[in-house]
Amino acid sequence: MAKTNAATSSSTDILLRYNNKNRNDFLFSFNSISLFNKSLPFKRPSLPPPLLSLSSSPSKPLTTRVSIAPVEYAPPAPDSFNFHQEISRLQSLRSKLAHSKTLNGKHSVLNDDSHVKRFFKIGGVSRFLDSINLTSRELFLLKCLVAAGQEHVVSLEGFELVESEAVGSVRTSVKSALYNLVEIIEGFDLSDNGNKGLERINYGVNLNDEEIKDLKKLLKSLGEVEEFYDCIGGVIGYQIMVLELLFQSTFKKQTTNWSQHIKESMECQFLEIHAPSGLDLSKNTEYASQAALWGIEGLPDLGEIYPLGGSADRLGLVDPDTGECLPAAMLPYCGRTLLEGLIRDLQAREFLYFKIYGKQCITPVAIMTSSAKNNHEHITSLCERLSWFGRGQSSFQLFEQPLVPAVSAEDGQWLVTKPFAPVCKPGGHGVIWKLAYDKGIFEWFYDHDRKGATVRQVSNVVAATDLTLLALAGIGLRHRKKLGFASCKRNSGATEGINVLIEKKNLDGQWAYGLSCIEYTEFDKFEITGSPCSTNGLQAEFPANTNILYVDLPSLELVASSNNEKSLPGMVLNTKKPIVYMDHYGNCHSVSGGRLECTMQNIADNFTNTYLSRCYKGVEDKLDTFIVYNERRRVTSSAKRKRRHSDNTLHQTPDGALLDILRNAYDLLSHCDIELPQIEGNDKYVDSGPPFLIFLHPALGPLWEVTRQKFNGGSISKGSELQIEVAEFSWRNVQLDGSLIIIAENVMGSTRMDPNGEPILQYGNRCGRCRLQNVKVVNKGINWSFGDNIYWKHDVQRFEALKVILHGNAEFEADNVTVQGNQIFEIPDGYKMKITSGDSGLQVQLNPLEQKIMDSGSWHWNYKIHGPHIRLGLVET
């Protein structure tokens, strides 16, 4: 808001501007004497328009718009915003609305609000509202908006529906003269050709099609906020929470006893946070393997939940053809979208279950979307285009989270891009639990006989590496836990939260314990610093929150249905990052502000265990919440932000995440007696590509102890590329110097039509197969000097490569052979190709498979459980 001092003596201009493409603009100006000798402290419009605009066009009726704001007037800087007074007013209003059980009753309550009274006293407002035929519900929502102090959202260009008390007092003295003039202007139209002079038109304010569309969108958005945030008071409650969080932030800067305030807000006498202890999967390997087996065994009891509604502004993803902004789920990563990567990881676990137990298992997947960047439409379209990934549409539930208004950090005022168009963003992934309850997702999971679920975010591309997810779910199911975290060492300075053990003494004298999370935006509140030398250098000491969760569905549903603040966990207002938006004039704004967000992992705050006395050691084993650890690159590495040319770090970029994928590939294969180059620190690759590319389909495992039994011996030279897209695969003493690409149409099985006519993937049926033994592959491979290579997309230029393409149930074998140069072997469905060395080079045999082995193939890996481990045996058919 502009803040300048007005001149002691000023004049008020009343302007009439006529715009027509066929003639020059003309201006009437009527100067009036100053009414007061001092400035008047009224609120200026957030988007200052012309005072009165009459626009004419051949296709649209003339539109009259009026503003009561003086032109040659600038108010002084107002006093600081009184948070306490506004919060008290809104809390009183919320209470009265809650006690009114009918819509008419709620109208009566709102009509008594001072903001609403003043709003409807403005000349032209009632006519304006009558002209757009609002329903009683829509009028109620509009009144809630006004009562929340957000009248400026419904200000038209030139028709400002905002008036302060000071302006009202000024207008009273000139009201008659001013409105007589307005009525004269409103009663005439300037004809299009200029020959008929001024013509009479309908009295009132007209909206053009775009404004009507924006108004309807605003009312829809208000309705969603009112409905979803009903547990805290709807639109009014949303604004109360915003102001309370802003006030807390202000209070923190002004008080020296913030810790006491935290204890009061958490309703406890004593509060401490400790580093949580839990199973380290990288060290206690035997128990980790057992926990992973529990996870595989329990797969039929598990669902999968993906919170994909975020706007992912930092990623800056844009459709190269249309220029449309895209959500993170559509990022093309390693040859497929991130969403495809999530489903592929899930199918790998289901394939492992099939190989062990011989049963088909299709996990139901619930996906939270939003309308940000057409997120819901893009995700739905992708699922439809890929035939719901061969899982059937009935195994998916997509539910859309509401967008919420962004506010100024100064006074909680909603930011607007144009009339009727507040800046809106998704309300954080923590809305997922209440929204899931509202949309019937829990009942849907129960209909599929599910007890628990695993949760992961789309940008984390390594979450399913090895046994992390399976062990997490296995422990949760086996020990009937309510919630579990997968965690790891935290990178200092990273924009990520920490997992903590909360210890507090409640007001009733009991001691409460539970695992939880503190978001990085809340570090200041808990006086957490990044210095390892500080008294509580928790950023370095405590583990990272990764948003990889196991959840018990009935326990979550109980909280999500509570109809109070508990169903919206971890509400925060992050104002550390500016809100950037474009107004309808094309001007870009960057404003200190935020929006009310919830954090899904803080649902854990509802699962604390209480004891009569203080617990000092080993309390974690008795809690309903738990945590497991693993190496960081096997737990989290995210493609969250777009890398810029000036960046000297690859952290949280697609480039950096790729390096962690390759480090995992090194860890996996180097234990198989395969020699390959090590990956150095990220700074080594800021200006260059990685030392190699290795992309292995997760169905080769996904447990590394399974994958390692399929690989043994050989080497992968620096600058080589290996891509294996087939699950039934054997590598024995293979030396790779160049590019080797093996792609099967039927990686894990083939699709069959179900009774509803949908293609369903049948695991293990008619898989492609590939065996390599004593093979040397030599070719020029990737052109590493090509400037347009995008390695994390797996979009590279090659000089030469060996490609094996397996159609249907095709098989490929190479034995005691050297394959040089650019070669493509494409094997048709139902055939087996075998390559050996001949007198004149390669000897190629292509034979049809016998009918009796069409489904099972000529060989397969047999999976058997041996103690806490899985043992493989190669079986010839």
Per-residue model confidence as pLDDT tens digits over 389-440: 999 999 999 999 999 999 999 999 999 999 899 999 999 999 999 999 999 9
CA nearest to 745, candidates 390, 462, 342, 362: 390
Distance CA 489, CA 480 (A): 26
**Which pLDDT value is given to residue 310?**
79
Distance CA 94, CA 109 (A): 10
Instruction: Kindly report the average pLDDT of the chain as a whole number.
Output: 84
Structure tokens at 165: 């008390």
Contact 703, 348 (CB under 8 A): no
CA nearest to 151, candidates 46, 266, 227: 46
The 3-state DSSP class for residue 336 equals strand
Q: Name the pairing type of β-strands 268-274 and 498-506.
A: antiparallel
Non-local (6+) Cβ contacts of 701 within 8 A are 348, 352, 466, 707
The mean pLDDT value for 526-547 works out to 65
Omega before 75 cis (within 30°)?
A: no
Looking at the structure, do residues 264 and 250 belong to the same domain, yes or no? no
Looking at the structure, do residues 297 and 308 belong to the same domain, yes or no? yes
**Domain boundary residue, one of 255, 271, 289:** 255
The DSSP symbol for 69 reads: S
Query: Does the pLDDT at position 835 exceed 60?
Result: yes
Other Cβ atoms within 10 Å of 611 Cβ, number: 12
% of the chain residues with pLDDT over 70: 81
CA nearest to 65, candidates 11, 134, 1, 18: 18
Looking at the structure, do residues 354 and 302 belong to the same domain, yes or no? yes
Backbone phi, psi, residue 813, to 5°: -135, 140
**Sign (positive/negative) of CA torsion 47, 52, 56, 61?**
positive
The 3-state DSSP class for residue 640 equals coil
Give long-range contacts, CB 8 A cutoff, 24+ apart: 390-394. 390/751, 390/759, 390/760, 390/761, 391/343, 391/362, 391/365, 391/760, 391/761, 392/362, 392/754, 392/756, 392/758, 392/760, 393/758, 394/756
**Which pLDDT value is given to residue 485?**
98
* Total of domains in the chain: 3
Looking at the structure, do residues 342 and 221 belong to the same domain, yes or no? no
Residue 80 is assigned to a structural domain of this protein: no
**541 or 35: which leads in pLDDT:** 541
Determine the Cα angle at 353 with ends 352 and 356, to 5°.
Answer: 85
Distances (CA, A) of 365 to 27, 368, 395, 690, 847: 63, 10, 6, 34, 41
Determine the Cα angle at 260 with ends 257 and 266, to 5°.
Answer: 145
Per residue in 67-87, pLDDT (tens digit) is 333 333 333 334 567 889 999
CA nearest to 605, candidates 574, 576, 571, 629: 571
Distance CA 119, CA 467 (A): 60
| Length reported for the chain | 877
Query: Does the pLDDT at position 5 exceed 90?
Result: no
**Which pLDDT value is given to residue 262?**
60
Query: Does the pLDDT at position 529 exceed 90?
Result: no
**Which pLDDT value is given to residue 253?**
53
The predicted model scores a pTM of: 0.85
Looking at the structure, do residues 615 and 724 belong to the same domain, yes or no? no
Structure tokens at 660: 């962690």
Half-sphere exposure of residue 396, counting CA atoms within 13 Å on the CB side? 20
Non-local (6+) Cβ contacts of 368 within 8 A are 305, 306, 307, 308, 309, 399, 400, 401, 429, 431, 432, 435, 436
Residue with tokens 């969108």: 217
Structure tokens at 446: 């129960």
Strand ranges (E), 642-765: 693-696, 711-716, 721-725, 728-737, 739-744, 749-753, 759-763
Residue 278 is assigned to a structural domain of this protein: yes
Residue 458 is assigned to a structural domain of this protein: yes
**159 or 667: which leads in pLDDT:** 667
**Which pLDDT value is given to residue 202?**
35
Exposed/middle/buried for residue 132 (C-beta within 10 Å: 0-12, 13-18, 19+): middle
Looking at the structure, do residues 216 and 353 belong to the same domain, yes or no? no
Contact 576, 521 (CB under 8 A): yes
Query: Does the pLDDT at position 356 exceed 70?
Result: yes
Contact 613, 517 (CB under 8 A): no
Query: Does the pLDDT at position 289 exceed 70?
Result: yes
For the ranges 2-11, 211-220, 811-820, the lowest mean pLDDT is seen at 2-11
Looking at the structure, do residues 263 and 251 belong to the same domain, yes or no? no
For the ranges 162-171, 536-545, 723-732, 747-756, the lowest mean pLDDT is seen at 162-171
Query: Does the pLDDT at position 182 exceed 80?
Result: no
Distance CA 352, CA 870 (A): 10
Distance CA 119, CA 627 (A): 53
The mean pLDDT value for 599-605 works out to 96
Residue type, 154: V
The mean pLDDT value for 32-60 works out to 32
The DSSP symbol for 842 reads: E
% of the chain residues with pLDDT over 90: 66
Exposed/middle/buried for residue 321 (C-beta within 10 Å: 0-12, 13-18, 19+): exposed
Looking at the structure, do residues 621 and 517 belong to the same domain, yes or no? yes
Determine the Cα angle at 616 with ends 610 and 619, to 5°.
Answer: 55
Looking at the structure, do residues 478 and 350 belong to the same domain, yes or no? yes
Task: Write down the H helix ranges in 699-848.
Answer: 704-707
Task: Write down the H helix ranges in 676-832.
Answer: 704-707
The DSSP symbol for 632 reads: G
Residue 671 is assigned to a structural domain of this protein: yes
Non-local (6+) Cβ contacts of 406 within 8 A are 414, 415, 422, 423, 424, 425, 579, 581, 593, 594, 595
Q: pLDDT confidence of 49, banded at 50, 70, 90?
A: very low
Looking at the structure, do residues 299 and 345 belong to the same domain, yes or no? yes
Looking at the structure, do residues 587 and 706 belong to the same domain, yes or no? no
Q: Name the pairing type of β-strands 831-838 and 823-827.
A: unpaired
Distance CA 27, CA 53 (A): 11
Residue 331 is assigned to a structural domain of this protein: yes
Domain that residue 493 falls in: 257-524+542-635
Residue 854 is assigned to a structural domain of this protein: yes
For the ranges 38-42, 283-287, 816-820, the lowest mean pLDDT is seen at 38-42
Looking at the structure, do residues 127 and 229 belong to the same domain, yes or no? yes
**Sign (positive/negative) of CA torsion 430, 434, 440, 443?**
positive
Cross-strand bridge partners of residue 13: 31
Residue 28 is assigned to a structural domain of this protein: no
Exposed/middle/buried for residue 97 (C-beta within 10 Å: 0-12, 13-18, 19+): buried
Backbone phi, psi, residue 129, to 5°: -70, -40
Structure tokens at 52: 């009165």
**In angstroms, how far apart are the furthest CA atoms of the chain?**
109
Query: Does the pLDDT at position 213 exceed 60?
Result: yes
The 3-state DSSP class for residue 403 equals strand
Residue 67 is assigned to a structural domain of this protein: no
**758 or 577: which leads in pLDDT:** 758
Contact 653, 643 (CB under 8 A): yes
The enclosing domain of 290 has a CATH number of 3.90.550.10
Q: pLDDT confidence of 585, banded at 50, 70, 90?
A: confident
Contact 324, 378 (CB under 8 A): no
